[in-house]
Structure formats: C-alpha cells, structure tokens
Structure 1
Amino acid sequence: MLVSVDNWGVLRPTKAIPDRPLPHERTRSSVQVAPNFECNFEDRPDWKTADKWLHWDLNPFMWCKGRGLDYVFEGDFVSENNGTSYKGYPKVQGFLNLIDASVEDGGFLVVPGFHHRIRDWVSQPHLSSFELSQEAFTDLVYVPPDDPIHQQTQKIPLRAGHFIIWNSELPHQNFPNDSTNFRMVQYIKMFPNPPQGSYGLLHRTHLLKLQLPKHLQQTPTAKSLFGL
C-alpha cells in the first residue's frame, strides 16, 4: 500500500464568538472564556461549512471504468485516488480526530454501504450527461443535488484519538459546526501500490522527489510507504 499524509482540517466555532482577541493559551479547543474576561459575543453563521456538499475525493466514473492518472504536475497528488485502475482492490482514506467532536461541533457525514452499489450507480443511463460534465475533475466530484443519495447519510461523532477509515467509494462530507468548540482532524489516504516500473508510478516517484526537502532522511519503511 502507498500512504499519503494529506491535509489537516479545522471547523471553527460559530456560536458565542468573542468580539476581541482571547488571552493566549498553550492549547485551546473552544472559544469559552474566563469569567473576568470582558467582551461581547456574537454568532458567526457565515463561518459554517455548507450544509450539502456530498462528494467523492475521486471521480467515480474514472475509477469504476478504469481510467487513470499520469502524475504530470503537483496537483496530481490530490487526484491520485484515480492513479491506479480498480482491479478489485479497495482504496481507503481516513482521518485522526484530534479533539472530542460531538454532533453539534460539526464533523464527518457518510453514505454507509454505498461501495456495494457504486458500479450500478455510475451505469445509470440518466447520468451520462453528468459523467461528461465531470471528465475534467479527477480529485473531487459532487453528488448531483437531486440524487436520493442525499437522504441516506449518517453523521459520525468521534472522541479525541479515534481514527476512522472509509472506502473512497463512499460519498462523504463535513457537516457544519454549530457550537463554541473547534473540530480538528488530520487526513490520511492509502491505496494499492502500482506495479513496479508502471508509467504512473515512475512519474509519481520523480515528482515526489522534486518536492521533498533535500536534507530529509527516510527509513526503508518510509520509502516503501510513500513510494520512493
């Protein structure tokens, strides 16, 4: 398996936001303040993420129909969930939850079990025009707004230290923060290593070496995991 330590994610609090800077603390997981701190509070609904942006971090049509990726520029590392054809192997992604997150704090929302029917979904005749409209998008495809998939989602609240892994074929999104607390995660993805010498893998290795600091030392295990 190849492993990529991807982006981090933060959902800001949106309730009872102080109108002046908070006192410095070494760590802070909410906007709650000490009783003697004088300020006014306001809600910030404009800081909320969108309610509905259910998506895949791959192009489901490319993925299911075996079209891949050539690694010709840096952005392909975001798109590399399409980097190898399906061939019966799953691709997974995940995140480490860094602080406790309740439903009110926003978080992960997913369509459970959709990986069992994604191939039937992409084969629906009425989606042919939608497929054509998505050909240029390899790293993010949104579920059509009128698709019944939107009614099949489940919210997943998590404690600090919980690590959740899901099949990349599952539509998912973050849902909005409606509290005084932060939500913080570290994203990770994993996918089968392409055969040695394959065109895509050679380009990936070359591009990755160009981006890494020259002084960075790696163990044999790290080189194997990151495809070097």
Structure 2
Amino acid sequence: MAPLPPTGPDPQATVFDPEDEEAYERFFHEHGYVVVRDVLDDAHVSATVDELWQSPSLLGAYPRLKRNDPQSWDDDQWPAGCRNFLDPLDPCSEVETWRNRVVPAVSRVFHTLWRGLRFDGEREDDVDGRLVVSVDRMGVMRPTKVKMPGKDGSAADDAPLTEKRDWRTSRNWLHWDQNPWVSPGFFAVQGILGLSEGGATSGGFVTVPGFHKEFAHWAQEHPEGSLPRVTRKTVPFSVPLTDEMQDRRLKVVVPRGGLLVWDSRMPHENFPNEDDQWRLCQYVTFKRLPTEGLGKRAAAWHAGIRTGLIPASFARRFSAEEHAILGMAPLEEQAKGLQEALEEGESLSPEALEAARKLRRAYRLKQIAMDPRELMEAKQLFQEAFAVNPRLKEPLQCVGAAEDSYLPFWIL
C-alpha cells in the first residue's frame, strides 16, 4: 500500500529573519532543516527567472515554449526529462544563477549552520577548512491547473481552470542523497533558493522533521543486504514505501527569495504541483573541504578552463573571495594556477571549443537518455569530443576525484 500524502505545510516551519542567526541555528539543529527569508532581493529573483526563460542553455533553448501560453507547456514541447529538475547544458554561462551562489547572505546562512559541525571522516584539524559551494541544478514545475486561451489567443479572467494531471510529477520518492551504510553521520548541508511564491499545493519540499537524529540508528536497524535493489554505492538512497517514517512526512514551503536548508541525513522528496502557480527554485549545497579536497576541487576547475569546458570569461567575472567560495583557488599562494588556466583557456582553438560543447551535450544526453538510441548518440558525441581534444579526459578525471567531496559538478 502506498503511503498517505504528506501533511502540511509544517506548522513548526517558522521562517526566520537572516539576522536572527542564533534562533535559526537552534531550530536547524533541533529539526534538521530551517527556512530563512530574504536572502535574495526581488530584483535578483526576477532577473534569475527571466534568465531561466530567456537563456539558450535553459528554457530559452525551446523556442516553442511561451512563458504565458499554457498551450505551449504540453509534453511534446516541454524539455525531455524535466519533471522536477532542469539540467542546464552550460550552466557556467548563466550569470544570475552563479551570482546567487556567491551572494553573501546565502553563504552567511551556511557558515552559521556549519559552525561546530564535523562530518563523517573529518579530522579535527580540518574543522576550520573552507566552505565551498556546489554547481547544482534548477527546479521547475509547471502549473497543472491552467486557463487555456481562446481563439483570439488570450484567456479571460473568468475562464475556468483546466486540470492537467499528466503534467504532475510523481510523489512517493522519499530518499537521501547520502548512503546510510557508508556515511551514517553528519555529511553535508543542502539547500533550495525559492524563485517563486510557493504554497502548500504548488509543489515543493517534503521531509521528516527531526530524522537527522534517527539516521544512524535507522542504518543499524536496516543493515546492508536487508533491503532489495540498494547497495553501498546507491545514491540517491530511497526510503522503503512501507517504512513508518513515510507517515511522518510534512511539507515545507519556501517563500520567494528565501532559503531552505536541510541536514543531508534528512529524508526528503518533492510534492507535485497541483495548482495554477509555477514552482521555481535553485539548488545549492555547501561543503567544508580540507586542504586536499580544495586542491582536487581547484584542479577540476583549472582543467575545465584550460580545455574549454568552462569559459575563461566566466571565471573572470568573480572576485578573489568569490573564487574561494567556488573552490577555484585552494590556497592564496596558488592563485597563479588559476591565472595560468585563464590565459590558456583564452587561446583555445575553435575546434577545441567545439569539442568542449560536444562533451557537454554528451554528458547531458547521457543523463536524460531514455532508450539505447540516445545512449549510442551520447557515446558517439563522447568519442567525437575526445578525438578532437584528448585533453578533455583530464577534467573528467579531476571531477571524478572532486565528486568524492559531495560537491556535484553539473558543468560537464
């Protein structure tokens, strides 16, 4: 039997002021998540939403999609695979999403919540390591109750709402982005930036309040081998539909411009959009890296810049402090390495840049492939990219090493 729908929104889900650090830190440690308002101002949010619709790497890549025309949102025109997430083909060119990652108010919340915490395997002398931001995804859910336009192309204010049930995303995928058998302790702090004024029916976040305190015990009660189709390598790790925690799920609503942050030990999922509003958000994660991890992270950035996977012009947008937040420079004295990567990246041939674009397309296609034909197409693109520029294998190897730090690179 499928679990009951989540209740909510969570009556305890107080929305905190950014200045009230002590209060929201206390709430976070008690409940495993917290919502902080107004980390992005209205202008930043509006610019990000405009970018989402206009950028040729995001929804702008689909010219038949019209922002205010529900008829254009049907499945035959909607991006393939876009049910909860929109994976940019080339997120490094997206100005606003990158600006949001380095906004001081955002990093301040993460720094506040990370102080005093130590993740699994972290040495005591690494507790003062640097917090580094992820390169993550956008979340997009269509309205599923819409006013369809008439023959003149417009919808009257009193037009009835048409229900589009097949546009709704699936429910009942409670999961962790952390394997309980490998990392039963604290590991990371994940987050969502709200880009739309969500409600209890417009799609969004579901969790089990306080479960971060039960996570290690749950792993002991469900040892490796006791659950079908999951192993120590399984991430995301799904919660069984019959687990009692399913009946404790609650919705958490994130206001426009607000930030929801949760302990990665918290089971979570999205609830489907069941009303006439968009659900738009940007995912962001911060992880504290020791010196070795910073070196791996910087190596991945530098290799990507040198080979064209990351435009050198993009890296020049940021200050030295923002380079540190992104993990481009592991140590101050190694900033020269970034400068060399920038100079080399700016002298790339058109052929090398085209190879980088093919590799990004191949990686994206592999992520959303639904049949063997698409997988073969991705394989062909990989081969073509490497044939033109064999050095592209270096960034992939560096990213593989950096991914161990739980900082996803969606840049490839």
Query: TM-score scaled to structure 2, two decimals?
Result: 0.42
Q: Is the 8 A contact 1:19 1:40 kept in 2?
A: no
8 A contact 2:205–2:271 mirrored in 1: yes
Check if 1:96 corresponds to 2:187: no
Check if 1:186 corresponds to 2:282. yes
**Which residue is 1:7 aligned to?**
137
Please tell me whether the aligned partners of residues 149 and 156 of structure 2 are also in contact (alpha carbons under 8 angstroms). Answer: no
Correspondence for 2:373: none
Superimposed CA distance per residue, residues 172-203 of structure 1 (whole angstroms, 9 cap, x where no aligned partner) = 1110111111111111111111x2135xx443
State how many pairs are aligned: 191
Residue 113 (structure 1) aligns with: 210
Unpaired runs of 5+ in structure 2?
A: 1-130, 329-412
2:153 pairs with 1:53: no
Which residue of structure 2 aligns with residue 212 of structure 1? 310
**Identity over the aligned pairs, expressed in percent?**
30
Sort the Cα spacing of 1:41 and 1:101 in 2 relative to 1 into closer, same or farther, 3 A: closer
Find the aligned partners of 1:133 and 1:93 in 2 and give their Cα distance: 22
Q: How far apart are residue 20 of structure 1 and its match?
A: 7.3
Secondary structure at 1:102 match in 2 = coil
1:141 to 215, 237, 240: 237
CA contact (8 A) 1:97 1:163 kept: yes
Q: Which amino acid is 1:212 matched to?
A: I
Q: Which has the higher helix share?
A: 2
Q: Distance in 1 between matches of 2:198 and 2:233?
A: 35
Q: CA deviation at 1:56?
A: 1.2
Whether the 8 Å CA contact 1:9–1:185 is kept in 2: the answer is yes
Instruction: Compare 92-101 and 129-138 and name the one that shifted more.
Output: 129-138
Map 1:141-160 to 2 at 5 A. Answer: 141-160=237-256
Secondary structure of the residue aligned to 1:212 is coil
Q: Is the 8 A contact 1:19 1:41 kept in 2?
A: no
Aligned match of 2:35 = none
Q: How far apart, in 1, do the equivalents of 2:152 and 2:260 lie?
A: 32
1:23/1:134 Cα in 2 relative to 1: closer, same or farther (>3 Å)? farther
CA distance in 1 between counterparts of 2:287 and 2:312 reads 26
Whether the aligned pair in 2 keeps the contact of 1:13 and 1:178 (CA below 8 Å) is: yes
Contact 1:111 1:153 in 2 (8 A): yes
Matches of 2:133 and 2:228, distance apart in 1: 28
Structure richer in strand, relative to its length: 1
Matched, 1:225 2:325: yes
Contact 2:224-2:231 within 8 A present in 1 as well:
no
Query: What residue in structure 2 maps to residue 175 of structure 1?
Result: 271
Partners of 1:93 and 1:166 within 8 A in 2: yes
Change (3 A) 1:48 1:124: same
Deviation track 1:29-51 (CA, whole Å, cap 9, x = no partner) reads: xxxx4449xx8863211111112
Larger Rg: 2
Greater length-normalized contact order (CA 8 Å, ≥ 6 residues apart): 1
- Kept after mapping to 1: 8 A contact 2:224/2:232: no
**CA gap 1:100/1:108 in 2 versus in 1, 3 angstroms:** same
The 1:49/1:132 distance shift into structure 2, 3 A limit, reads closer
- Deviation of 1:126 after TM superposition, in Å, equals 5.5
CA distance in 1, matches of 2:152, 2:327: 43
Report how far residue 145 of structure 1 moved. 1.5
Say if 1:202 and 1:158 are closer, same or farther in 2 by CA, change over 3 A: closer
From 178, 182, 201, the equivalent of 1:62 is 182
The residue identity in structure 2 corresponding to 1:124 is E
RMSD over equivalenced CA pairs, Å:
2.8
State the SS of the aligned residue for 1:122: helix
Say if 1:98 and 1:186, in contact at 8 Å, map to a contact too.
yes
**Structure 1 residues 67-115: Cα deviation after superposition (integer angstroms, max 9, x where no partner):** xxxxxxxxxxxxxxxxxxx5xx651111111121111112111111111
Q: Residues 113-153 of structure 1, C-alpha deviation per residue, up to 9 Å, x if partnerless? A: 11111000111156533388233323x11111111111111
Change (3 A) 1:151 1:213: same
Q: Decide whether the 8 Å contact of 1:95 with 1:185 is kept in 2.
A: yes
